[in-house]
Amino acid sequence: MSNTTSDLYQAMSTLRAVRRLRPDPIPDDVLQRILQAAAWAPTGGNVQPWRVVVVRDAQKKRAIGDLYRPQWGKYSVGSRKMLERMQGEPRAKQERMLAAADHLGEHMGTAPVLLVWCFNPNNMAITDADMSRPSVVGGGSVYLAVQNAQLACRAENVGCVLTTLLCYDEDAIKELLGIPDDWYTCGVMPIGYSVGGGHGPISRRPVSKLAFADTFGEGIDL
């Protein structure tokens, strides 16, 4: 494995959700590299049917934070219920996550930058649009860019986390940011320097639970 590979894998394996962000500004050159990383991502037909609104205006950030607070409040009821059925270290871990998420719920508006990811479905070939199950394919031309931006944040030691809860307030966000009728939002990503340790160890299923050999459910031996 070359050095190049291991540096890339280092970023991926330590990209964790960072939810406690200091209000300190992100230098322009750092922000530029994060946005450039997103711009490099592949999209269907190389159409790049996404845009990102970089929100640094204090009043607009506050308005978005005010929309997020009650959405997180509502959503977190379920997360707290799940907690009741947990014990020991998994429960303690979940409690720490919820405390950090509650902090974000209160303070999203004071992150130095909110990245609001937009997409235009008219510029996408959504091959699963007419199926009876939920469509996801449109996401294939925007979330790859989002992941590039997250990995760049990691590499730049900038904390980040993606939330899709603000889709519930899409009309208000569109009005606030002047997003045209045929563009929509698919995520808001507060980014900034971390209050605590920031990025670090992550907890994920092993490959053996996620990848199968030739048949769904068939163990793969690598």
Element (H, E) at 192: strand 184-192
Least distance in angstroms from the C-beta of 107 to a copy of itself = 19
Nearer to a copy of itself, 104 or 151 (CB): 151
Region binding a copy of itself by CB under 8 A among candidate stretches 83-91, 104-112, 158-166, 193-201: 158-166
Does the footprint of a copy of itself cover residue 19 (CB under 8 A)? Answer: no
Does the footprint of a copy of itself cover residue 170 (CB under 8 A)? Answer: yes
40-44 contact pairs (CB < 8 A, 24+): 40/148, 41/144, 41/145, 41/147, 41/148, 42/144, 43/140, 43/141, 43/142, 43/144, 43/145, 44/124, 44/125, 44/140, 44/141
Pick from 87, 88, 133, 201 the residue near a copy of itself by CB under 8 A. 133
Does the footprint of a copy of itself cover residue 86 (CB under 8 A)? Answer: no
Region binding a copy of itself by CB under 8 A among candidate stretches 8-16, 83-91, 103-111, 191-199: 8-16
Region binding a copy of itself by CB under 8 A among candidate stretches 62-70, 83-91, 104-112, 182-190: 182-190
113 forms beta bridges with 191
Does the footprint of a copy of itself cover residue 11 (CB under 8 A)? Answer: yes
What is the Cα–Cα distance from 64 to 196, expressed in whole angstroms? 24
What is the Cα–Cα distance from 55 to 109, expressed in whole angstroms? 10
* CB 189 within 8 Å of CB 117: yes
Sites for a copy of itself among residues 96-115 (CB under 8 A): none
Region binding a copy of itself by CB under 8 A among candidate stretches 84-92, 104-112, 170-178, 193-201: 170-178
Pick from 126, 172, 194, 195 the residue near a copy of itself by CB under 8 A. 126
CA 148 to centroid of chain Cα atoms: 11
Pick from 65, 138, 159, 192 the residue near a copy of itself by CB under 8 A. 138
Least distance in angstroms from the C-beta of 200 to a copy of itself = 13
Does the footprint of a copy of itself cover residue 85 (CB under 8 A)? Answer: no
Nearby residues of 90 by Cβ (< 8 Å), 6 or more positions away:
none
What is the Cα–Cα distance from 83 to 219, expressed in whole angstroms? 31
Amino acid at 46: N
